Structure 1
Amino acid sequence: MSGRELPPLNALRAFEAVARLHSVGRAATELHVTHGAVSRQLRLLDEALGRPLFSRQGRGLALTEAGEQLHAGAGLAFEQLRDSWAALRHHHEHSPFVLGCASSLLARWLIPRLDRLAHDLPGLRLHLSAQESSPVAELGTLDALLLLSAPPWPAGWQVDTLAPERIGPVVSPRYSGWPQLQGQPPARLLDEPVLHTTSRPQAWPDWLRGMDLPPSRPPGGAGFPHLYHLLEAAIAGLGVAIAPAPLVADDLATGRLLAPWGFQPTTGHWILAKPQRSGDRRADALAQWLRQELAGG
């Protein structure tokens, strides 16, 4: 070993724990390894140094002179590392958690639930970022991203699936064509100039396929750039729209919209995506909260 070379770091960590705790068994418990694994690391250090760091003293271990010298430096170094890590974790966990979310999901579903989120997760300082561009490009600048998507997920993503996506037609009772549609089977929509959004061109075909109807989009009808605009148009009585169930749950509860033909599952999911190497535990708590909210409608 050259004069500036470090000893094996796993072995040094085991040595520091045994020297501090005065026990191989307690060190093994702290490090979540076996008694034998710690003993092997100590032997590795002895062999690398060429002399023992511990000696037997009754049924226990005592530091040799070399062990005392190494412990003086290693103990200080590990304590400084623990302090630095704790400070970094404290700063990280008290900084804002930046959550990206498509504008329609943000406006129609998340914002109405922010009070409940703040109550249930009081330690989460949430900063919301409306996303309009490619989610693959945006994730690198965010702590997490809430969206509706289908697998396969992009490389570099760590994904929590929150709920399956379910979509269905919705219509306002104010719509002038509602009296003719009321009580009619789903096939009647094939003749209806329904509303659609250019951001989800497959929504109508996916629902029709789930209803065992021809999966071509119904003809005619106005198109809107975003789901939010589409649903506002439906609420205004401009026609029949198609939407994910959670985004219209509040409107269905108040009677502003009706869903007479039900909702069908798609291949998509509500997901919370974060960078692959993220170790932010706040994302886990947020994912659990989102999962419960979606399960409740």
Structure 2
Amino acid sequence: MSNARLPSFRFLIGFEAAARLGSYSRAAEELCISQSAVSHQIAQLEEQVGQPLFRRKGRGVELTVSGRLLLDSVGKSLDQIRSGLSRIETYMDDSLVTLVCPAPVVKGWLQPRVDRLLQEHPALCPIISIDETARYIDEMDVDIAITREPLKQRGVLEVPLLDDELVAVVRPDSDGQPAGMLCLETDLTSDRIGPFIREHFGNLRRLAIYDDPRLLLDAALRGHGVALLSRLLADEALRSGQLRHLAAYPSLPLGTLWISRTEGEPRLPLVRQVFDSLLAYSKG
């Protein structure tokens, strides 16, 4: 069959439905056609592939070995097509703007500003993702990206958004000498942050080490000790007075976050409006 033309898409849809449902009649009901039409489609498909695809089983049918092999490919292909159609449907919704952002920045800086964003743009329904593997601007999966490094992607406008730093924070009711330190495992092993911690916080006993900065924030809010946090992650807690910055300890710059969207006019005016609003929030 390697040199044969591809079967009709209609035949493959009928085949997949009959295989999934185990019945020509149930496949016909799902596809809103007659049972004889399904039977005819599958007969033509079997003739084209040169193999029987089904055998009778009671009142239904079951796949042959050849049928199972074909279903594996056809099922995956139809799933991809359905996924693509779903993405197109989402793309056509003028209220949806997809924003990708690092999880700590979403937690500490972006999420507290979503209410303001929705008030300014009542038609907006933001899709907020922390999947940084999908950060590339393509006007389908991602409208706006906030990243720790410039994307340097052709056709993309990107500008600095926020500066971040590592700061020591503690709950306001923690008086006197700090009991100990809370930190991230990746910070301790970092070539840059590790020496900074050992130099300036080496006198503090390590009380807990976390692998997720959001867990570190939660521990600080519970008063478990001094936490070394991204200022952006701690932003809401510092502004609300749930945490206070220990100015006696030095901070460490963590670099600039960048915000990006497609260059020129994006697919929706709302994308540009949200982009401009986020830039304005970073200045106030």
TM-score range, shorter chain: 0.5 to 0.7
The aligned residue for residue 163 of structure 1 is: 162
The aligned residue for residue 229 of structure 2 is: 243
CA contact (8 A) 1:150 1:267 kept: no
Match for residue 252 of structure 1 among 202, 213, 238 = 238
The aligned residue for residue 294 of structure 1 is: 282
CA contact (8 A) 2:169 2:229 kept: yes
- The amino acid of 2:183's aligned partner reads H
TM-score by length of 2: 0.52
Distance 1:285 1:222, change over 3 A: same
CA contact (8 A) 2:137 2:261 kept: no
CA distance in 2, matches of 1:236, 1:274: 38
1:268 aligns with 2:255: yes
- 1:126-205 alignment, distance < 5 Å: 126-131=126-131, 133-134=132-133, 141-147=141-147, 149-151=148-150, 153-156=151-154, 158-175=157-174, 178-181=175-178, 193-198=180-185, 205=192
- The amino acid of 1:238's aligned partner reads H
Distance 1:276 1:295, change over 3 A: closer
- 1:56-135 alignment, distance < 5 Å: 94-131=94-131, 133-134=132-133
CA contact (8 A) 1:207 1:264 kept: no
The aligned residue for residue 272 of structure 2 is: 284
Computed over aligned residues only, the root mean square deviation of the Cα atoms, in angstroms, reads 3.9
Q: Deviations over 1:29-84 (max 9, x none)?
A: xxxxxxxxxxxxxxxxxxxxxxxxxxxxxxxxxxxxxxxxxxxxxxxxxxxxxxxx
Find runs of 4+ consecutive structure 1 residues off by over 6 angstroms.
Answer: 137-140, 215-219
Distance 1:135 1:219, change over 3 A: farther
Q: Deviations over 1:247-267 (max 9, x none)?
A: 323322333211022774625
Give the aligned length: 189
TM-score by length of 1: 0.50
CA contact (8 A) 2:134 2:141 kept: no
How far residue 92 of structure 1 moved from its aligned partner, in angstroms, is 5.5
SS of the aligned residue for 1:99 comes to strand
Distance 1:290 1:263, change over 3 A: farther
CA contact (8 A) 2:105 2:232 kept: no
Structure 2: runs of 5 or more not aligned: 1-90
How far residue 170 of structure 1 moved from its aligned partner, in angstroms, is 0.5
The aligned residue for residue 218 of structure 2 is: 232
CA contact (8 A) 2:166 2:254 kept: no
CA contact (8 A) 2:135 2:142 kept: no
SS of the aligned residue for 2:98 comes to strand
How far residue 203 of structure 1 moved from its aligned partner, in angstroms, is 8.2
Distance 1:111 1:236, change over 3 A: same
The aligned residue for residue 76 of structure 2 is: none
Q: Deviations over 1:213-265 (max 9, x none)?
A: 94898773422222211111111111211223343233223332110227746
SS of the aligned residue for 2:145 comes to strand
How far residue 134 of structure 1 moved from its aligned partner, in angstroms, is 3.5
- The amino acid of 1:252's aligned partner reads L
CA contact (8 A) 1:162 1:291 kept: yes
Q: Deviations over 1:125-168 (max 9, x none)?
A: 3222232x535579773222224x145x4545542211222331
CA distance in 2, matches of 1:287, 1:154: 18
CA contact (8 A) 1:246 1:294 kept: no
CA contact (8 A) 2:183 2:210 kept: yes
CA distance in 2, matches of 1:276, 1:293: 21
CA distance in 1, matches of 2:101, 2:242: 25
